[in-house]
Structure 1
Amino acid sequence: MLDWLYTAISWVMARWHSLWNWAFGYPPAESGLSGLAWVLAIVFLVVTIRLILFPLFVKQVKSQRAMQELQPELQKLRKQYGSDRQGLAVAMQQLQKERGVNPLAGCLPILPQIPIFLSLFHVLRRLAPEKQGLYSWTDELTDQAARAKLFGAPISASFNMSGAKEQAILEIASYTTIRTVAFVLIVVMCATTYFTQKQIMARSGPVEGQAAMVQKLMLYGVPISLFVSGFIFPIGVLIYWMVNNLWTLGQQFFILRKMPPPGSDAAKAKAGADKPAIDPRTLAPKPGAKPVRNKPGRTAASPTVAPDSTVDGVPDGSAPDPAAPSTGATASRNGSGSGSRPGSGQGPANRGKRKRR
């Protein structure tokens, strides 16, 4: 039933293998570069699939952001309906329909990858030296893929093997080499899966209740289940899963940098950075103006000046006229000064006194 998908997967791998063989100058099948060409074919199979699924990933992120924005309203609905689960479900569906939110959009990038992973597992499991051509591959190409090695371990081999395939594989590689390479890839696959789940939790933001339990189960349950099942995966499948996780880590790191989850510290910092900076010079007092420093609990008030108080003939608080001659200069021109009549009260000392009320 899935032969068309097996054929498509094998065809894409063959095209990438031909490209890398051309880049390496068509090395012989027994050389290390031939094995590297098949490994890169698996790597770029991941790249091809993830580029095709990238629009679904963007839609997934937007759906998760929209669901986060609906959380306050969903909490109100839960309080409003209480134990009426049927009414709550109808109200939630109506709210999601009005806002154009689809909760299933969060699963869009994952669902298409499941049959692709199973197809690659099926193709590599059937690989064996000197076997007839598989799907779109010729007999020669199938034999080359079965003999292609990564660090001395064939990509068609697995940690645990049995039957005729085990005998054929052990003729070209040792069990020690195969199990060493396979175990290292299993550990790396589980570690990258764990960090991928951590990033998914960071991207979706804080959750409560049953959703938090599901996240914790995915965080620890998926890596443990992969560690158990990884012993029967061919090395090529381990490479596929590891590269797929690395792609997801890089993709989510980019999304978290550009679109941090609402309410996170990164989102608050980004919102603060988007605000225009205030020039501190605009807050400084104007030249010649006295800065106002208010005391706690008091308001600033302008000083009151008596209207008839004068200093040197100028009302207190007002600027003197620079064109007006000073009192001492006037006295000198009139010939008065130190030679004024005693007691006249018109001497420079008396004229320079302040008149106070």
Structure 2
Amino acid sequence: MLDWLYTAISWVMARWHSLWNLVFGDPPPESGLGGLTWVLAIVFLVVTIRVILFPLFVKQIKSQRAMQELQPEMAKLRKQYGSDRQGLSQAMMALQKERGVNPLAGCLPILPQIPVFLALFHVLRRLAPGKEGLYSWSDELTDEAAKAKLFGAPISSSFNMDGAKEQAILDIEGVTYTNIRIVAFVLIVIMCFTTYFTQKQIMKRSGPVEGQAAMVQKILLYVMPAGLFVSGFLFPIGVLLYWFTNNLWTLGQQFFILRKMPPPGSDAAKAKAAAEKPAIDPKTLAPKPGAKPVRPKGGRPATPPTTPPVGGSAPSADGGTGNGRPSGGKPGGSTAAGQSPPNRGKRKRR
């Protein structure tokens, strides 16, 4: 039923293997470089899948942040509806629909990776020296992949093996069960530790949570690595390499996202908001030309007063000298515009 998926995974691996063969000059299959081409094929299978899924990862981040912004309103709804679970559920669904938030978007990047992992596990589990061609591979390519080594351990071998496959792998020149188990155990430990740190980073990325969500996060933090440690003894070395590479990609991707989009309420988010806040230009605070400066409460005026000249008075806003006398007139008097002073008129008549 899933043959199409097994064929697609094996085809992608074969294409990457051919590319690395060209890079390294088509090395012999039994050489170290021959095994390296298959190791790099598995590594770049991860790269291919994760690049395709990157838009879903960005959508997951946006969905998580949108759900965090809705938490205060959802808390109000819980208080409002109390024990009415049906009404609370309908109100929450209406709120999420109004804001365009989909809670299931947080699972988008994880779901497509599950069938890819199962398909690779199926292909490598069936891989063995001398076996017929698997899916899109020829007999020769299948045998070459089965004998490809990582630090002396074939990628098709696992910590625990039995039956005809075990005998076929141990018949490969230079392969020992001890070497296989050392490489497999080291990869299992590394896989568990990277899974733990990946889950810690996911918790940091999603921000603070409460209630059942916090409990689920703690369970995944410890239960998932423990489950992988137990099941890792059955995984082929190629699958352990796939999982380890996938964890490294996730760690790097989330580190990038956390720097660019820190979780709301975190110290990094506050520091970023403060750095992006525009600085106030002092020139914008100065009064406009001709405007009266405003004296702030408990402080100095925005602009310093004009210093009066020696022996005189500073000009006032109405054109006077600032001492109650209008310029060009007697004390307390005024001169209408367009009229001559009376004294000047009498002098002209004389």
**TM-score, with structure 1 as normaliser:** 0.80
Structure 2 Cα separation of the partners of residues 174 and 225 of structure 1: 27
Letter in structure 2 aligned against 1:320: V
Q: How does 1:3-18 map to 2 (within 5 A)?
A: 3-18=3-18
Letter in structure 1 aligned against 2:80: Q
Tell me the SS of whatever aligns to 2:189: helix
What's the CA shift for 1:252? 0.6
Letter in structure 1 aligned against 2:310: P
Letter in structure 2 aligned against 1:91: A
The one-character-per-residue Cα deviations of 1:113-135 (angstroms, maximum 9, x if unpaired) are 10110000000000111111101
**What's the counterpart of residue 299 of structure 1?**
298
**What's the counterpart of residue 159 of structure 2?**
159
**What's the counterpart of residue 213 of structure 2?**
211
What's the CA shift for 1:169? 1.0
Larger radius of gyration: 1
Structure 1 Cα separation of the partners of residues 176 and 260 of structure 2: 47
**What's the counterpart of residue 117 of structure 1?**
117
Q: Number of aligned pairs? A: 296
**What's the counterpart of residue 344 of structure 1?**
none
**What's the counterpart of residue 139 of structure 1?**
139
Tell me the SS of whatever aligns to 2:93: helix
Structure 2 Cα separation of the partners of residues 262 and 299 of structure 1: 38
Structure 2 Cα separation of the partners of residues 143 and 301 of structure 1: 88
**What's the counterpart of residue 236 of structure 2?**
234
| Runs of 4+ residues over 3 Å off in structure 1 | 278-284, 298-302
The one-character-per-residue Cα deviations of 1:249-302 (angstroms, maximum 9, x if unpaired) are 111111111111111110000000001234689999xxxxxxxxx9xxx93589
Structure 1 Cα separation of the partners of residues 85 and 260 of structure 2: 37
Pair 1:301–1:109, CA change in 2 (3 A):
closer
**What's the counterpart of residue 269 of structure 1?**
271
Letter in structure 1 aligned against 2:261: M
**What's the counterpart of residue 327 of structure 1?**
none
**What's the counterpart of residue 195 of structure 2?**
193
Structure 2 Cα separation of the partners of residues 3 and 282 of structure 1: 70
**What's the counterpart of residue 326 of structure 1?**
none
Percent identity over the alignment is: 81
Tell me the SS of whatever aligns to 1:112: helix
Matched, 1:320 2:297: no
**What's the counterpart of residue 81 of structure 2?**
81
Letter in structure 1 aligned against 2:140: E
Structure 1 Cα separation of the partners of residues 268 and 65 of structure 2: 15
What's the CA shift for 1:188? 0.7
Structure 1 Cα separation of the partners of residues 192 and 78 of structure 2: 37
What's the CA shift for 1:39? 0.3
**What's the counterpart of residue 307 of structure 1?**
none
Letter in structure 1 aligned against 2:99: R
**What's the counterpart of residue 55 of structure 2?**
55
What's the CA shift for 1:144? 0.3
**What's the counterpart of residue 126 of structure 1?**
126
What's the CA shift for 1:320? 1.4
**What's the counterpart of residue 343 of structure 1?**
none
What's the CA shift for 1:228? 0.6
**What's the counterpart of residue 287 of structure 1?**
none
Letter in structure 2 aligned against 1:247: W
Structure 2 Cα separation of the partners of residues 107 and 85 of structure 1: 24
Pair 1:87–1:283, CA change in 2 (3 A):
closer
Structure 1 Cα separation of the partners of residues 90 and 203 of structure 2: 27
Tell me the SS of whatever aligns to 1:78: helix
Letter in structure 2 aligned against 1:161: M
What's the CA shift for 1:64? 0.5
**What's the counterpart of residue 104 of structure 1?**
104
Tell me the SS of whatever aligns to 1:206: coil
Q: How does 1:279-290 map to 2 (within 5 A)?
A: none
**TM-score, with structure 2 as normaliser:** 0.81
Pair 1:301–1:158, CA change in 2 (3 A):
closer
**What's the counterpart of residue 184 of structure 1?**
186
**What's the counterpart of residue 248 of structure 1?**
250
**What's the counterpart of residue 290 of structure 1?**
none
